[in-house]
Structure 1
Amino acid sequence: MTGTSRLLRADGRMTVAVATTGATEQDCLDQARRACEAGADLVELRADLLDGEPDAGRTARLAARLGADCAPVPVLLTVRSCAEGGAAELEGRAWSEHLARVLDALDSLDEAGTAGRPAAVDVEIERPGAAGLVDLAHRAGLEVVLSFHDVAATPPDEALHELLERMSRLGADLAKIAVMPAGPADVARLLGVTATAHEAREVPLATMAMGEAGAVSRLAAGVFGSRLVFATAGGAPSAPGQPPIEDLRHAMALLGTP
């Protein structure tokens, strides 16, 4: 854990990310280009949404291509599992082993002199072998976003704090938590957890409440210490509640969000 991250804006303001949702390589390339043109600070490659069976080599090649095409905008490589709201039908160690193969394939591309690479990889902290994947990614020169997604509920405060502490101990460069609130009280709890964790300053944070009830968290979380928010740039959202990037920027300016 470095305390800073290349994924985040150097000026301390909220980093706005846009994720690809395309099923083909060309779809992803086009969406990433539009995201950069729209002013995204970060592009997330959602490789789990690609058509066909999971293919480590295909994922690595596309991540490297996006890294080159989007530069200097950093690229975050994500293979979101079905268990956490994604489309990768890989359970338990199968998910971890697939991501390890992707990282190995990225190393092979580097050795072959391929231009471009992602800046970071998303590792789901609840998957088996998460600690080993963090080490593997760091040895490959990639930052790690340790993440947790609950697409059905908002865990108790104690559980959220424990997750953030584990993420810090495992060496996260950015700790991400996304939850589904039942209502405003859950959103308020998440913002409170964010503020408390931010004061400890153990690791940069990205926290968000999904869905309509959580929309305010995407606008206001920066006030409480979150550093990253997701938006769309002409495409479909990768998670419920993501606003268009132009609307988000306008609302953040009106609210004075950092």
Structure 2
Amino acid sequence: MSKIIGEGTQPLICTPLVGRNQEIVLAELANVLEKKPDIIEWRADFFEAIANTDEVVALANTIKEIAGDLTIIFTIRSIREGGQTIPLSDSEAMELNAAICTNTSVEYVDCELSNLPEHFQQLCKVARENSTKIIASFHNFNCTPSKESLEERFTQAEEYGADVAKVAVMPKTLEDVLTLLSATLEAKNKLKIPVISMSMGELGAVTRLFGGVFGSTVSFAVGQSSSAPGQVPIEDLNTVFHIVKKSMGM
């Protein structure tokens, strides 16, 4: 049975697929499955045929079929939030997200809060009609906004009707890392939906290891290839999670 974000006593481990074509994506998938993650994220912005909806839907279905009970997240990360350059407008990317909800059994679709509110809420409507869940995400690869600003992003995700709120930011100091963890704990205590958070890069790597203590429900790990700076190998995450669970009695 697919794992649901926010359930369980420790963060779920998610590994990305970032292949340029079907052959590479499926080879990555085979490699990653051996490492037994909880979730697989297909970063479709890396996929060269992203403009071909039928091809994207078909590959999403193939990934889900091969992955079986493993939970799948479908993500088109925009260039403004750290993704690849793609030949789709924001509205076309939203149409592709909707097609994934309608024509596949992928469990989660990631949608950035920087999209137009009406587009976001329309996608949430389509998702609900098809039993797909929406992860509302915010990324800042340049800095860490204030704690208040981060809390606003978490709250905005819930207000928009998303099922999960995700925030990823870049620290310049260890104080920035504390800001992210503090905002995460605040969101965990206030929101009715699960939260995912991370501070990126080497400074922020500690949040990928111990973010679950502060309320983050997913940690993104290196399966075969990394999709963001600071991701930790899945084997290391498993070791740390086991130690944290044992030592904190979680």
* Fold match by TM threshold 0.5: yes
Aligned residue identity for 1:136: V
- Contact 2:16–2:225 under 8 Å retained in 1: no
For residue 172 of structure 2, give the secondary structure of its aligned residue in structure 1.
coil
Aligned residue identity for 2:239: H
- Give the 3 Å change call, closer, same or farther, for CA 243–136 of structure 1 in structure 2: same
Structure 1, unpaired ranges of 5+: 110-115
Match of residue 114, structure 2, among 126, 131, 137: 126
Q: Which residue of 2 aligns with 1:112?
A: none
Is 2:2 the counterpart of 1:13?
Answer: no
Shift of 1:97: 2.6
Match of residue 242, structure 1, among 231, 235, 240: 231
Q: Which residue of 1 aligns with 2:213?
A: 223
Separation in 2, partners of 1:10, 1:162: 24
Shift of 1:193: 0.6
- Contact 2:6–2:194 under 8 Å retained in 1: no
Worse-superposed segment, 34-43 or 211-220? 34-43
- Give the 3 Å change call, closer, same or farther, for CA 106–147 of structure 1 in structure 2: closer
Separation in 2, partners of 1:175, 1:62: 26
Structure 2, unpaired ranges of 5+: none
Separation in 2, partners of 1:68, 1:87: 26
**Superposition map of 1:52-63 within 5 A:** 52=49, 54-63=51-60
Identity across the alignment (%): 30
Q: Which residue of 1 aligns with 2:65?
A: 68
Is 2:170 the counterpart of 1:173?
Answer: no
Q: Which residue of 1 aligns with 2:183?
A: 193
**Superposition map of 1:1-258 within 5 A:** 6-8=3-5, 10-52=7-49, 54-89=51-86, 94-104=89-99, 107=102, 109=103, 117-128=105-116, 129-233=119-223, 235-256=224-245
Shift of 1:100: 1.5
- Give the 3 Å change call, closer, same or farther, for CA 98–244 of structure 1 in structure 2: same
Separation in 1, partners of 2:234, 2:74: 20
Separation in 2, partners of 1:105, 1:77: 8
Worse-superposed segment, 81-90 or 37-46? 81-90
For residue 91 of structure 2, give the secondary structure of its aligned residue in structure 1.
helix
Shift of 1:130: 1.6
Shift of 1:140: 2.2
Aligned residue identity for 1:83: R
Separation in 2, partners of 1:120, 1:126: 18
1:80-119: per-residue Cα shift (whole Å, max 9, x none)?
A: 110100114367xx22332313423663x4xxxxxx6211
Worse-superposed segment, 145-154 or 32-41? 32-41
For normalisation by structure 1, the TM-score amounts to: 0.88
Provide the aligned C-alpha RMSD in A: 2.0
Separation in 2, partners of 1:79, 1:89: 9
